[in-house]
Amino acid sequence: MYDFYRAAALVPKVRVADTEFNKEAILTKLTEAYEYDAGIIAFPELAITGYTCQDLFLQSTLYENAMRAMSEIVATTENRSEIVIIGSPVKVNSKLYNSAFVIIGGKVIGISVKTFIPNHNEFYEKRWFTSAVDLDVNFVYASEIGFELEEDYEIPIGNNIVYDLENGLKFGVEICEDLWATVPPSTWLTLGGAEMIINLSASNELITKRDYRRSLVKQASASGYCEYLYVSAGASESTQDLVFSGHSLLAENGTILNENRDVVADDYIMIADMDLGKIRADRLRSTTFADSAAYNNDILSDIVTVKCTGYDVVDSDGKYIIAPEHPFIPASKEKRVRRCNDIFDMQVAGLIKRLTVTGSKPVVGVSGGMDSTLTLLVCAKALRKMKKEPGELIAITMPAFGTTDRTYRNSIDLIKSLGADPLVIDIKDACLQHYKDIGHDIEVKDVTYENVQARERTQVLMDYANSHGGIVIGTGDLSELALGWCTYNADQMSMYNVNGSIPKTLVRWMIDSVAENDLFPESTEILKDILDTPISPELLPPDENGNIVQKTEDSVGPYELHDFFLYYSFRYGYTPSKVFVLARKAFREKYTDKEILKWMKLFYTRFFNQQFKRSCMPDGIKVGSVSLSPRGDLRMPSDASSRIWLDEVAELENRYVL
């Protein structure tokens, strides 16, 4: 339903050349995997015999017993719906091939054969095995390869098979060295439709090889827009000259979902849930992927699609799906700080280009909030890199009816700490005059009351920039643009916006990283206080104690939820139902179903009816995978209907809340 599928990498203990022992070990591991409800189960390369049999592979006794053991394993799956993939030798027309038996429902539905046979350094497989390139048949009968059956059947065989299940899941198999090739077989399998690649491997461990292996799997999953399950033979293989590590991992479009942690391992199961919705969404929007298939049409004409009629791997419940609360923010501190620093450098580079081309000074409206703080820091760093005096930064704070002493003080102190001279322009009188001009009652604290202040601030910034050779640098962030939580032709507008593709949840960490790295030592303590200040447009008067009354998240909901909705709705095009399922997983300790759906309804409502503000948003660089620029990632009519999205949210409310 939600494109979740559970995969299992199984690394059993083996006894080299003891097919009976290995069969029992495989069956034991299969039973364990069934308990995890894994739908796709993979064992290592040559798991039925052991990878390190050497010249014993040429012994008829070993081969015959291997086929007998495989026959028995296949028979145990008769009433099962899982895909089981086991490495085994296979003999075809007097040649031995290193292969993977793909099993479901008591049958072998295909045999995928290894293409690249290593014969260098510690490997000398060509002594025993032949490449799939030399395979001169497209199918074999089960009886021909040594199975003893009451009823014989054909089995597709080759290195060009894409397995297509009834539920739409398509996968291919390659074996060990194939991944190391300049052009791996999986390249053609993915372009031929496979959304998942399973690699059965026997990779010995060497210093640094684990990292290199991980990078290969990540890159294969990224370039192929696919899931990549890699399962490798473990430490119970022969240690005559080598040690095998049992390194298993699952990568999803360039991201490692799970891997075993021990450098040398054996006798374990690695479980991971994959989200094929991500793969399908990226393939749908990637013209490069589609073009790659079209440009290689001649080669892809050799791909054989095996329709697995009657076989349907059931969607998993997503128990092991990784759904972080903050998808825009790396979980580890090291990665988070590095990402924030990189984005900051990108913002600075973008601004330097614009200032250089226009020959202008940066003009910033400083409120004491996080967004304007980040913009101010970017401007200060840009001037520093341009070897300009800090005084060229024009920083204006414009107190009005909602300004508190705390935010006003932080604005002034921050500007001074950066070496600039704060310019204070009180806009209360100008707003009062405007209220009078348009006949608005000052006691009516409505949207007009608020927007007059927002537009007056923008007018001051624009006009001051005109008179002092500057350009107004915007402060609005990605989350505000998504919700339209900005005043049209006020904070929605600028001459260049450095924050436009940075979500609110990340803005906080951007400032934190600047403070932690002491990029502006004199500003560090002020930045910490700004981070502790509630998010507010400060357009309504403070309370009797001078505290902020108007808190944005009281009105529009938690930004962490909206950023979550934005990421999955517009990075991958997920339905409200799937976004909700993921949100429940991510925020189960924070928000009830009722709260999630309440703010989800507001998100879709505002995202659609506020598109007109994004249709004319100012220039600004894209820094991440989600951007709402009408010149970049989002081309959307301003008058599109949100009905079907809101209908689905209403159905969720009926199911989970009412």
Predicted local confidence at residue 544, as pLDDT: 66
3-class secondary structure, 365:
strand
Dump pLDDT digits (tens) for 209-229: 999 999 999 999 999 999 999
Q: Is the pLDDT of residue 313 over 80?
A: no
Average pLDDT over residues 269-295: 93
- CA separation for the pair 31, 398 (Å, rounded): 69
Q: Is the pLDDT of residue 540 over 70?
A: no
Predicted local confidence at residue 542, as pLDDT: 65
Dump pLDDT digits (tens) for 390-416: 999 999 999 999 888 999 999 999 999
Looking at the DSSP bridge assignments, the partners of residue 98 are 89
Q: Which 3-state string (H, E, C) describes 457-484?
A: HHHHHHHHHHHCCEEEEECCCHHHHHHC
The torsion angle over the Cα atoms of residues 428, 431, 432 and 437, rounded to 10 degrees, is 160
Q: How confident is the model at residue 244 (pLDDT cuts 50, 70, 90)?
A: very high
Q: Which residues contact 220 (CB under 8 A, 6 or more apart)?
A: 179, 184, 186, 197, 226, 228, 251
Q: Is the pLDDT of residue 314 over 70?
A: no
Model pTM score: 0.91
Q: Is the pLDDT of residue 423 over 90?
A: yes
Q: How confident is the model at residue 250 (pLDDT cuts 50, 70, 90)?
A: very high
Predicted local confidence at residue 166, as pLDDT: 81
Q: How confident is the model at residue 470 (pLDDT cuts 50, 70, 90)?
A: very high
Dump pLDDT digits (tens) for 427-438: 999 999 999 999
Q: Is the pLDDT of residue 496 over 80?
A: yes
Comparing 183-187, 420-424, 504-508, 536-540, which segment has the lowest mean pLDDT? 536-540
Strands 470-474 and 361-365: parallel
Comparing 139-148, 471-480, 547-556, which segment has the lowest mean pLDDT? 547-556
Number of neighbouring beta carbons within 10 Å of residue 419: 17
Contact 627, 633 (CB under 8 A): yes
Predicted local confidence at residue 532, as pLDDT: 87
Mean residue pLDDT of the chain comes to 93
Q: How confident is the model at residue 546 (pLDDT cuts 50, 70, 90)?
A: low
- CA separation for the pair 498, 433 (Å, rounded): 32
Structure tokens at 450: 């608020």
Predicted local confidence at residue 535, as pLDDT: 67
Comparing 140-149, 309-318, 402-411, which segment has the lowest mean pLDDT? 309-318
Q: How confident is the model at residue 114 (pLDDT cuts 50, 70, 90)?
A: very high
Average pLDDT over residues 625-638: 93
Predicted local confidence at residue 403, as pLDDT: 86
Catalytic residue positions, numbered:
45, 114, 176
3-class secondary structure, 364:
strand
DSSP string, 52-80: T-GGGGG-HHHHHHHHHHHHHHHHHTTT-
Average pLDDT over residues 98-112: 96
DSSP at 332: S
Q: Is the pLDDT of residue 177 over 70?
A: yes
Predicted local confidence at residue 384, as pLDDT: 97
Predicted local confidence at residue 231, as pLDDT: 98
Q: Is the pLDDT of residue 340 over 60?
A: yes
